[in-house]
Structure 1
Amino acid sequence: MTEQAATSRLGTVSEATVVVAGGGPAGMMLGLMLARAGIDVVVLEKHSDFLRDFRGDTIHPSTLELIEELQLTEKFAKIPYNPVRTTPAGSLEELNIKYPYVAMAPQWDFLDMLADEGRCYPHFHLLMDTEVTDTIREQRRIAGVRYRDRHGQERELRAALTVAADGRHSTLRAASGLPAREYGVPVDVLWFRLSKSESDPQQGIALARVSPGRWIVGIDRRTYWQVAYFVRKGGYAAVQAAGIEAFRQSIRDTAPELVEQAGELKSFDNVSVLDVRVNRAPRWHLPGLLLIGDAAHAMSPLGGVGINLAIQDAVATANILYPALLRAQRTGTPVPEKLLHDVQRRRELPTRVIQSLQRAAQQRLIDPVLRGAEFKVPPLVGVLRRIPQLRRRALRTFALGIRQEHVRTPRVETATEPVLGGQGAPRRNPA
């Protein structure tokens, strides 16, 4: 890190080897892996904490293996989570893998863990409440970002590589002019919280209730249910027009476990709408810029695989780019765009396959139910249950993904005490 950039510990950063926009799973994992490999990295997160109801909680076996490879298993064990071992096709315990379950862990706790570990490396800098607003272009290259700090001041941060990990509504993707192809999705999701009693089951995804016209999933967040209520695309207006009591009654009719809690919804002010999108950028890179995670390919919430796919993107990025980033840090050599293309080539096939499966599930399972049809178990599920070899292959794809990534970067630096990078990352903002 240059002397100029070293002022980041006072809250100002002007230069780094890598700048990552977005402190979600992809951005935080990439920042940690690069910092532990000795690469100066700044992660910019526009919110002041990691608390978001829309964040998914599914940590698949592929990510649990990465956590072990990063020597974070003991820290992760301190996060309260529920192991989910069964799927509609069968049990993950059929697989010969170390972690035969999906850990339902609050994503904000997972991100806090990555941030805490990152602070142990002097090359890691995390600026919270810092919003990326634009790219810096120099001689046909992206040379960094413009951002607004927590005090509202406009600043610039120059970097050899800019990584857009800022989600499905990526500011950097829009600013760079890289388009994304939208794939029609027939559903939206209404999100709301309902209280949870001590007598309720502790099963991770403990509620999955379907009736003609309705599809409800409840995520067990220990002290409350985070409920996902699926509606047809653009259908929220009709739900609102019917009134809050009709909405409460539809919850009671579909999920008897929530009969009493449904009354907690006093108005639609308690309900948020997730505009479900599935899209993919045909090109993930420009000279000096790389898109990963939802910025490159927005995933449906079905299966909860989006988090893990984004993390796999981050690991592949670190594995492929860290030698070139070290050279850039030492000599100022630009990162070859061919290597950025190598990341896309490595991760695009898994993305295409998973998105195709999600779109098929949405169109053939969820959309007919929301149109009023009775739910029918797909014939493929019956085939998988009857044929062990096919079932285990499907379970392995769900658990470990396609082209599973492993940590290949070295661990070259640690600090005995956490290092406060930038403004630091408050674990929780009480406000």
Structure 2
Amino acid sequence: MSSSAKSLTTQCCIVGGGPAGMMLGFLLARSGVKTIVVEKHNDFLRDFRGDTIHPSTLELMHELGILKAFLQQPHQRIAKAYVLINGQLFQGPDFSKLATHAKFIAMIPQWDFLNFIAQQAQQYPEFYLHMGAEATELIEENNTVKGVIVQTQQGKVRIFADLVVGADGRSSIVRSLSKMAILDYQSPIDVLWFRLNKPNTELPETLARIRNGHFMVTINRGAYYQTALLISKGQFDAIKTKGLTAFKDTLCHIEPTFTDVIQAIDSWEQVKLLSVQINRLQRWYRDGLLCIGDAAHAMSPIGGVGINLAIQDAVAAANILTEKLRGGHCHSDDLAKVQARREWPAKMTQRLQVMAHKRFFSDTENNQPLAVS
């Protein structure tokens, strides 16, 4: 990588330091491709990000030789998933019988996962992580993307690259700037995120709590639960109008054993809205540019699959493009192969999520399962 005061040159510039971007950056640098990852935030501390690392992703980490080190990070393991429905405990998937090295879901805050991958990647001189660098423009020439302009605290930096990868999530600026066509599914839900301290009562490891149509997810983060309440799309303002007490009453109704810790919510500032999107690009690439992860196919949080699909995109992109990038001749036909490899799993997952939304979460005349009363 050569540099001057306000410009950098590299083989691949990845916009977005999420799971797809960091994993792709790690894999490319490990294979000798000069790679810059730009992340607009100064750290990875985002509560809205997924925590579920599935056995298939853990198996990939085993193949990369980093699973043992990864599992030394603080995490929780779910070998059997349980769901509490109207007070009754039901067992869901049993991962303990899988033919994998890690027979469980690893629950780990995504910031810890990203920091771990960054540490692995930074062992290679070909890798450079630029935090606090927000993409603002694409550098284009003859309808081909030649790089990206990022805004930093020190000013604008022009990064010229043989390939720009948009891995900047569901609100992707790269996707927006590229003007590529999007196929959008209308999600009927949004998600409210908040923290709950763990109650003194010993509870089974339960991923979801469902009562009378209300659906709450509890993610074990050690000292507390990162909690998600599914609500009808666009209803957060109406919920706030009813008041915080009514909101907490609903939570207590869903899980009475949480009553004491729920009372610790004393402000709407503690409750954050995640607008759920399900969409995908019809074409994930154009000359000099590829989108992967949520930038290519935004997923619902249902099933906690987004992070795992994003990582699989990164692996496919690295497998297909590494030699092309090292040789300095990465063309649209090569980028099309990435989409061809990964589009079907994304489509099928989104179709299943849309079906789940319609089956469980769509309002009906006599039953509004996500209304917060």
Shorter-chain TM-score bucket reads over 0.9
Q: Which residue of 2 aligns with 1:365?
A: 360
| In 2: Cα distance, 1:49 partner to 1:257 partner | 35
1:66 to 56, 60, 81: 60
Query: Residue 369 and residue 65 in structure 1: after superposition, are their counterparts in 2 closer, same or farther (change >3 A)?
Result: farther
Residue 146 of structure 2 contacts residue 163 of structure 2 at CA under 8 Å; is this kept in 1? yes
Q: What's the TM-score, normalizing by structure 2?
A: 0.92
Conservation of the 8 A alpha-carbon contact between 2:147 and 2:158: yes
Shift of 1:301: 0.4
Which structure would you say has the larger RCO, counting Cα contacts within 8 Å and 6 or more residues apart? 1
Structure 2 distance, partners of 1:133, 1:367, is 37
Q: 1:370 to 1:115 in 2, by over 3 A?
A: farther
Match of 1:123 among 115, 119, 126: 126
Q: Does 2:163 match 1:161?
A: yes
Task: Show structure 2 runs of 5+ residues with no match.
Answer: 82-90
SS in 1 for 2:148: strand
Q: What is the Cα deviation at residue 262 of structure 1?
A: 1.1
Deviation of 1:90 after TM superposition, in Å, equals 3.7
Quote how far apart the aligned CAs of 1:374 are: 7.6
Classify 1:199/1:216 alpha carbon distance in 2 versus 1 (closer, same or farther; 3 Å): same
Aligned to 1:351: 346
The amino acid of 1:353's aligned partner reads M
SS in 2 for 1:300: coil
Q: Contact between 1:231 and 1:370, CA under 8 Å: does it hold in 2?
A: no
For residues 390-401 of structure 1, the aligned pairs below 5 Å read: none
**Is 1:212–1:373's contact at 8 Å kept on the other side of the alignment?**
no
CA contact (8 A) 1:61 1:102 kept: yes
CA distance in 2, matches of 1:361, 1:75: 36
- Is the 2:362–2:369 Cα contact (8 Å) retained in structure 1? no
Q: Tell me what 2:283 maps to.
A: 283
Q: Does 1:14 align with 2:8?
A: yes
TM-score, length of structure 1 as denominator length:
0.80
Q: Deviation of residue 240 (structure 1)?
A: 0.7
- CA shift for structure 1 position 369: 9.0
Other structure's SS at 2:100 match: coil
Distance 1:369 1:33, change over 3 A: farther
Corresponding residue for 1:143?
146
The amino acid across from 1:355 in the alignment is Q
Query: Which residue in 2 is equivalent to 1:184?
Result: 186
Task: Check whether the contact 1:215–1:370 (CA below 8 A) recurs between aligned residues.
Answer: no
Shift of 1:363: 1.1
Q: Does 1:33 align with 2:61?
A: no
Match of 1:94 in 2: 97
CA contact (8 A) 2:59 2:100 kept: no
Q: 1:109 to 1:201 in 2, by over 3 A?
A: farther
Partner SS state of residue 362, structure 2: helix
1:103 aligns with 2:106: yes
Letter in 1 for 2:140: R
AA at the equivalent of 1:50: F
Letter in 1 for 2:119: D
Distance 1:201 1:13 in 2: 54
Give aligned-pair identity as a percent.
42
Q: 1:39, CA displacement in angstroms?
A: 0.5
Equivalent-residue separation in structure 2 for 1:260 and 1:122 (angstroms): 51
CA RMSD of superposed structures (Å): 1.9
Tell me if 1:23 matches 2:10: no
Amino acid at match of 1:120: Q
Cα displacement (A) at 1:200: 4.4
- What is the Cα deviation at residue 261 of structure 1? 1.1
- What letter is aligned with 1:131? E
| Secondary structure, aligned partner of 2:102 | coil
Q: How does 1:35-54 map to 2 (within 5 A)?
A: 35-54=29-48
3-state DSSP class of the match of 1:14? strand
2: CA distance, partners of 1:363 / 1:123: 46
Deviation at 1:263, TM superposition (A): 1.2
Listed one character per residue, the Cα deviations across residues 273-303 of structure 1 (whole Å, up to 9, x for unaligned) are: 0000000100000000000000000000011
Indicate the residue corresponding to 1:241 in structure 2.
Answer: 241
- Alignment-derived partner of residue 326 in structure 1: 326
**Distance change in 2, residues 1:175/1:371 (3 Å):** farther
Which digits, 9 at most, give the CA deviation of each residue in 1:193-235, with x for residues without a partner?
12125654473xx352212242111111111111101111111
1:114 and 2:117 matched = yes
What residue identity is the alignment partner of 1:128? M
Residue-by-residue CA offset, 1:327-371 (whole Å, 9 max, x unaligned): 11xxxxx41110000000000000011111111111102335997
Match of 2:334 in 1: 339
Change (3 A) 1:198 1:111: farther
**Shift in Å at residue 91 of structure 1?**
1.3
Give ranges in structure 1 of 5+ residues lacking alignment: 329-333, 376-431
| One-letter code aligned to 2:70 | F
- Residue of structure 1 equivalent to 2:221: 221
Letter in 1 for 2:293: G
- Return closer, same or farther for 1:51/1:371 CA change in 2, 3 Å cut-off: farther
Residues 370/131 of structure 1: CA separation in 2 closer, same or farther (3 Å cut): farther
For this pair of structures, how many residues does the alignment match?
361
User: Following TM superposition, by how much is the alpha carbon of 1:155 offset from its aligned partner in structure 2, in angstroms?
Assistant: 1.6
Aligned partner of residue 125 in structure 1, secondary structure: strand
What's the CA shift for 1:147?
A: 0.5
The separation in 2 between residues aligned to 1:42 and 1:190, in whole angstroms, is 34
